[in-house]
Amino acid sequence: MAHVPASERRPQLVRAAIDLMTREGVSAGSTRAIAAELGVAQATVHYTFGTKKDLYRAVVEEVTAQFIEQVRAASPGDGPFGDQIRTLVHALWEAATGEDGRCILLSEFETLAMRDPDVREIMLGLQHAMEGTATEMLTALAGAHGLTLALPADRIAAHFLTGFDGLTARHLIRSLPGEAPAPDTLEALDLLVATTVGLCLGAPATH
């Protein structure tokens, strides 16, 4: 393969690692396998990522950025506050549970984090980024409607994401990759939206 500048090689290797780990699992993402995925020398992976922690961090940060970008790109529309929250939540659901299997990949990293302090540090960064983005978007949406949130936005965001993580885990266990969620899963997702809106407004919400 022709010489490629380091600034271009790094994102190529990250994409190759994500593709490989998504198909075969995190444990399959050895430097040798990633090098073979892209068709480069194993030393190239070692040179680009000094440690496995550096590689894992790059993978998690890229997948997180993809999620956030997809949700930010979703237009909440011009309807009531609750309807707009629902639109954004369903955009996040599509980003998390789509056919590419990225959510399964992050779930594997979460499991590793329970025993590996390095991975735990990386996943804490992911959690901070997701909660920060949710807090920011919730605050902006409430401001656009002239609403004063009944609870601090960061507490509402943490509550929502905790429930959302549980629902995605439940769906991934019960369904094949890319399979549509069961009706009761969609009902639970809408209930999560309603309770989140209720926390925002300080009362049970119907919108």
- Strongest mean pLDDT among 91-95, 128-132, 171-175: 128-132
Q: 12 and 91: one domain?
A: no
Q: 159 and 67: one domain?
A: yes
pLDDT band, very low/low/confident/very high, at 205 (cuts 50, 70, 90): very low
206 falls within a domain: no
What is the domain count for the chain? 2
- 140-161 per-position pLDDT tens digit: 999 999 999 999 999 999 999 9
Q: Mapping DSSP to helix (H, G, I), strand (E, B) and coil, where does residue 74 land? A: coil
146 falls within a domain: yes
84 falls within a domain: yes
CATH of the domain at 126: 1.10.357.10
- Cβ atoms of 145 and 138 closer than 8 Å: no
Q: 90 and 182: one domain?
A: yes
Q: 169 and 191: one domain?
A: yes
Q: Is the pLDDT of residue 204 over 70?
A: no
- 1-18 per-position pLDDT tens digit: 456 666 688 999 999 999
207 falls within a domain: no
Q: 183 and 145: one domain?
A: yes
- Cβ atoms of 64 and 130 closer than 8 Å: yes
Interaxial angle between packed helices 6-24 and 52-73, expressed in degrees from 0 to 180 and rounded to the nearest 10: 80
Q: 108 and 149: one domain?
A: yes
Q: 22 and 86: one domain?
A: no
Alpha carbons 78 and 87: distance in angstroms, whole number = 11
Alpha carbons 163 and 15: distance in angstroms, whole number = 29
Q: 99 and 185: one domain?
A: yes
* Residue numbers of the domain that contains 41: 1-50
pLDDT of the residue at 6: 61
What residues have CB less than 8 Å from 201, skipping those under 6 apart?
81, 147, 150
What residues have CB less than 8 Å from 111, skipping those under 6 apart?
none
89 falls within a domain: yes
Average pLDDT over residues 53-68: 91
Q: 111 and 192: one domain?
A: yes
CATH of the domain at 10: 1.10.10.60
Q: Mapping DSSP to helix (H, G, I), strand (E, B) and coil, where does residue 79 land? A: coil
Q: In terms of DSSP H, where are the helices of the chain?
A: 6-24, 31-38, 42-48, 52-73, 81-97, 102-113, 117-144, 153-174, 183-201
The chain-wide mean pLDDT, for the chain, equals 88
